Structure 1
Amino acid sequence: MRLTVVRGDITTQQVDAVVNAANNRMRGGGGVDGAIHAAGGPAILADCVARFPDGLATGAAGWTTAGDLPARWVIHVVGPNRNAGQTDRGLLTSCYAGALAVADELGARSVAFPLISAGVYGWPLDDAVAAAVETLRATPTEVEEARMVAFGDTAYAKIFEWGVLAR
């Protein structure tokens, strides 16, 4: 698998699937979750309600349509909320491994990832990047490109420092 990094907006990525850093309720929210729901339109929320009537557990992954996004699917993951006391790094790494497993089930060959839990959930940026890169590199998958999408310059630079190829 080729691991790349790009500075940009995850909602505009031309990939098979985008990963959404969702909350447990699976009904939209802020940050990446809000952006994906806003850009993808009501079809994503409708599919979330149908597929996840009781939400999704922290560390778990599931998929929906991508609605109006250029991608075909959205793979939703629920990262740990460090600010709420969820400090188990295994929950964070399971988001990346689980997203790749779902991508394999769907037949997705290109997947765009945000930095999960690194925003309002308060995971320290250095460790969020380490968890993402280590897990994506170590997880067996049929995905051909895992693209890290950095919204800002600081995150982009941290990911690039890990030897991730610029796209």
Structure 2
Amino acid sequence: MTTVLDDLKRKLADNPAGILENIAKEHQVCLADAIKCLPADMWRELSGDHFERVIKEVPDWGQVTTIANTGDMIFEVSGDFPQGTFARGYYNLKKTQGGFSGHIKEDACHSILFLKRPFFSKLSASINFVNEQGNCYLKIFLGRDEGGELRADQLEKFHALSNWEH
């Protein structure tokens, strides 16, 4: 496995902008391992113990893009991330005006990977909620301003939440 991860680290050092799910599948590793093969300045990790703090802060950030990628489909919702409450083992998202709602298993979060890297010629930043198997079940991408750049206010909050040193 070490050889596979070493090869992947070299590949991602040369080109960190690919679709990580595809790269992980190609190298037969979980997504968390693929992310951790990116250059160290592109990611930060918090334990899943920080789930509640992170998930409750994001609704105050404004418009973001929320993604669930099962491999067979990629589901995206752009807009404010919903507020939620804990009940019956789930974090229950309250329905937004656009209809976005759902339920996130409370104890599913093993770690949270904050990722900041180039993607399609622009800087991208996301919060990736990862289960015990190293699979990402929820991604929240920061929003963009009118010029297509990451929103500065969200990036500042992202840095603070992930303990990212600028």
> Whose relative contact order is higher, 1 or 2, with alpha carbons under 8 Å and at least 6 apart?
1
User: What is the TM-score with the length of structure 1 in the denominator?
Assistant: 0.25
Q: Please identify which structure carries the higher strand content.
A: 2
Q: Please identify which structure carries the higher helix content.
A: 1
Report which of the two structures shows the higher radius of gyration computed on alpha carbons: 2
User: What is the TM-score with the length of structure 2 in the denominator?
Assistant: 0.25
